[in-house]
Structure 1
Amino acid sequence: MNQESVAYGLALLGAGWYFAMWLIGLLGCIAARRRYRRKPASSLLHANPHTAPGVSVLRPLKGLDTNLYENLESTFKQEYSNYEIIFSVADEDDQALTVVDALRSKYAGVKVAVIIGEEVVGVNPKVNNLMRSFKAAAHDILWVLDSGVMVDSGTLARSVEILAQQLPGHSARRIALVHHVPFALIDETKFGSRLEAAFLNTNHAKMYIAINTVAIESCVVGKSNLYRRSDVERLNGSLIPIQSQSASSQAPGKYGLAAFGRFLAEDNMIASALWHELGLRHDLSCDVARNVVGNMSFMDYVWRRVRWIRVRKRMVLAATVVEPFTESIMLSMIGNLSFATLFGLGMPSWIFLICHFSAWLAIDLDVYASIGGHTSRKEGLMPFILAWIGRECLAFPIWLIGLVGDDVVWRGRKYQVLSNGEARLHPT
């Protein structure tokens, strides 16, 4: 095989990859338009409390997160007739409790409980915080919401309705988890905050929605998840189908929520376990999990992205390795070289690059508008585009930093990420 044939073959491969990534981006864009540009009323809105499925809303707390009062208040405002809210904190002196007390007084008609003290089952502080809430919940359906999340008043009703549905063509594969795409809101002008918003509201949302539309593999983040406790209690985090597990893998203490205390990304692992161990499926709601980013510096943004790249690397190595080749800058080089080799059009590279990045930005802006609605226009177009450019340029160097290490810092603690996404507190 001569050099020209090799170059031609590589160019064909590159062109195929280029078009495949564009198709995924377009799928995410179209799916976002169809799912998020209208919010149908649920049949469970204001349903009879005796017939509506009961839900326990679990909100683990730690400190005064940005926008905490409004975030927590959004759960008190749910237009749903049969739910309770359980707040949990590890420390009785936690400042978040003052916010909870104020809301309990304001919404005296909402059933609320507060659990103080954690049950340590692993290195993940969120899991340790949630253990007692899981056991105390009055209902089987659990809605686990991060303290940084604010939701619309109809979110719970629409999510419960989806959880009760059956996937078409999958009679044995019911929906076991309903999740909500994160949407970043900015209340600070720091560049790191704008970078985070540009990432979450465009590339992350686009890929997240596209992957979940195709639904050939689990892809879930845990800011807002609805599932059944009875399903989680059957899981052990091995990702081995339950019928193939040995009796020893079901030893006491090795299943249920406690089994996920060894992971940092417990949300993703619970979702993957529901998918692989029980053969169940997930679905996205037409609602979003609004997250006020807060005061994030440039380096805060960098190390946040590095942290989750290092976690993903240990969980899905192949997907993490190819990640740069799904980004706009790397794809522009692949497309430009491939088309020049295949067609020899003689078109100047700058024309191709202008067309490529203009179309890429247009799709990202459309996704942003779909998931954010009117809020996507409040911050101004130019500041967003500058942050978008910064995000695209930083993607590859941040990926490189993330790939070469295994140590991460999360909520002031240093961890070492181990195989399969497990973690341990750093020995030093």
Structure 2
Amino acid sequence: MTVTTSKGDVILFALSVIGLIWYVVLWSIGILGCRTARRRYLRPWSPLAPVPASSAPGVSILRPLKGLDTNLYENLESTFVQEYPNFEILLSVAYEHDQALSVVRELTEKYPDVDVKVVIGEDVVGVNPKVNNLIRSYRQAANDILWVIDSNVAVDSGTLARSVDVLVGPPPNSQSSHRKRVALVHHVPLANANEAWLGARVEEAFLNTNHAKMYLAINTVAIESCVVGKSNLYRRSDIDRVNGLLKPKSTPDGASQTADFGLAAFGRFLAEDNMIASSLWHELGLRHDLSCDVAHNAVGKMTLSDYIWRRVRWIRVRKHMVLAATILEPLTENFVASSIAAWSLWYLTGVPAWLFLPTHHIIWLSVDMDVYASLAGHPVVADKRLSFIGAWALRELLAFPIWALAICGNEVVWRGGKYQVLRAGEVKKAN
């Protein structure tokens, strides 16, 4: 008896096998992110032992400000109380009447012994207002090590000490000294939505589960740069040698900053943080690392529409930076990946989707909740659990429609302005 197999059957069989392989790969990445969260954040190491200020590398903390961000007082205060003996703080605003200055005055009066400089005014070097705000602080900073922190971020008191420890690296005679030098230390965002805005809840669920899981997994494998710029520590002497072209090159040590190199060169990008990190990685051949700290991101009033357009904005930027990864992004999302796996499993084994899918979603949610607990140091509180899971489910349902909307356009709205995204994530004002 001869069994004939059609070409269509072969194709379907191959697709189903590929679908299951992809599903296993995706779960491997997710478990890696979950395991990394447990190992790195459940048992954080202590900060550096107290040392004389003359022995600790000096650090300049740069915080760009604009208006009264959510929890601004607490966010800024967290840098005033760092357990580190040698740092200065530079707080920069574009205009002398900015509301943030009232908070700055309160803190400088409360902590008179902290070395604080207020930098008023901006230098327009590109379309990115954050870079324009930071340029003067960047040039006036007394130290080579810079810690740039967004105004809506708070950090634990030992964050700076631990981050310097990672940036400086092991002693020269250490077994790990053959590794590439760390050029940038970053911190995974941990969102906190204190207000009952749906968009804020969805943003919190996204950042604290799927985003954190993938972010940690990618940085553990470390085959490519992947950095969010809410809290980054790096050396100005390194930034002054890169220009965002991502081509291996260097300038002599101590070369003066020009319009072609240094922070000003990144004013043409919307995602300047990611481009700075990528430039250190590709142009200088250096690497990044995480400390065991999180960037506590206070999420204020954010509607669901705000959340959707925020995600659209960054997908459109990423599309022009890493096109292949952006095209494949839907295949990494829960509902698309599980649908592919359900069909593949049914085709190969006959397991019905109604049995597979609920089991998958329960386990997927459990892993995401475990990541949240590792980062926060505790599970989602009981009275918030149902609303958190609801926000998580809404985020998962919206992932593909948001991606489809984003992939079809090139314009973004950012800080009240409309921009067109160009090659490599550069932007220009849209007409």
TM range (shorter): over 0.9
Partner in structure 1 of residue 3 of structure 2: none
SS in 1 for 2:187: strand
Selected match of 1:339 from 345, 353, 356: 345
Partner in structure 1 of residue 313 of structure 2: 307
Task: Say whether 1:324 aligns with 2:340.
Answer: no
Within 5 Å, give how 1:14-413 maps onto structure 2: 14-44=19-49, 46-166=50-170, 171=178, 173-242=180-249, 252-342=258-348, 344=349, 346-374=350-378, 376-377=380-381, 380-413=384-417
Selected match of 2:8 from 3, 6, 24: 3
**Per the alignment, do residues 379 and 170 of structure 1 end up closer, same or farther by CA in structure 2, a change over 3 Å counting?**
farther
SS in 2 for 1:211: helix
Moved more, 1-10 or 301-310: 1-10
Normalised to the residue count of structure 2, the TM-score between the two structures is: 0.95
CA distance in 1, matches of 2:61, 2:180: 25
Contact 2:369 2:379 in 1 (8 A): no
Moved more, 51-60 or 367-376: 367-376
What root-mean-square deviation, in Å, do the aligned CA atoms of Structure 1 and Structure 2 show? 1.6
Moved more, 146-155 or 376-385: 376-385
Structure 1: tracts of 5 or more residues without a match: none
CA distance in 1, matches of 2:125, 2:407: 29
**Per the alignment, do residues 398 and 42 of structure 1 end up closer, same or farther by CA in structure 2, a change over 3 Å counting?**
same
CA distance in 2, matches of 1:262, 1:80: 34
Moved more, 94-103 or 374-383: 374-383
Moved more, 161-170 or 49-58: 161-170
Q: Deviations over 1:329-387 (max 9, x none)?
A: 00111101111222x2x332111001110110000000000011137326621111100
Contact 2:343 2:353 in 1 (8 A): no
**Partner AA of 1:355 in structure 2:** T
**Partner AA of 1:297 in structure 2:** T
Normalised to the residue count of structure 1, the TM-score between the two structures is: 0.95
**Partner AA of 2:69 in structure 1:** D
CA distance in 1, matches of 2:126, 2:380: 39
CA distance in 1, matches of 2:55, 2:380: 38
CA distance in 1, matches of 2:130, 2:294: 21
Deviation for aligned residue 1:251: 9.9
Deviation for aligned residue 1:47: 2.0
Q: Deviations over 1:135-192 (max 9, x none)?
A: 1000000000000000000000000000011597572610000000001001111111
Contact 2:186 2:288 in 1 (8 A): yes
SS in 1 for 2:378: helix
**Partner AA of 1:418 in structure 2:** L
CA distance in 1, matches of 2:95, 2:325: 38
SS in 2 for 1:414: strand
Structure 2: tracts of 5 or more residues without a match: 1-5
